[in-house]
Amino acid sequence: DVKVTQSSRYLVKRTGEKVFLECVQDMDHENMFWYRQDPGLGLRLIYFSYDVKMKEKGDIPEGYSVSREKKERFSLILESASTNQTSMYLCASSGTPSTDTQYFGPGTRLTVL
């Protein structure tokens, strides 16, 4: 079974703090993704990575950056957290073909006070 794990299920941070969200997959997948999920808005892609050290902006990259130093690990960074970044963050991974299923982690619910 594919396993995608995220470092925290719940996180509470203060405005202006730097926040790191970690994601690890165990299937040797080339592609990894960060989404945010908000009620009524579905999933929106923040960034994705198709290889180590490679990244591409998604639909809502502002206020976020990412790091992929190893194939299995993809980090999302909020340089200076703001209240409008309070959300559920989902990580996913998939193999190379575009027909491949994306496998999701359990999500991190981030609250920024």
Partner 1 sequence: AQSVSQHNHHVILSEAASLELGCNYSYGGTVNLFWYVQYPGQHLQLLLKYFSGDPLVKGIKGFEAEFIKSKFSFNLRKPSVQWSDTAEYFCAVNRRGNNRLAFGKGNQVVVIP
Interface residues with partner 1 (CB under 8 A) are 4, 31, 33, 35, 40-45, 48, 50, 56, 58-59, 90, 92, 94, 96, 98-102, 104-107
Please, what is the minimum distance in Å from the beta carbon of residue 61 to partner 1? 13
Decide: 33 and 93 in contact? Cβ < 8 Å. yes
Residue ranges with strand state E in 31-106: 31-38, 42-51, 54-57, 65-70, 73-78, 87-94, 103-104
Task: Enter the DSSP assignment of 101.
Answer: P
Taking the least distance from each CB to partner 1, the nearer of 22 and 50 is 50
CB of 56 to partner 1, least distance (A): 8
Q: Which is nearer to partner 1, 85 or 94 (CB)?
A: 94
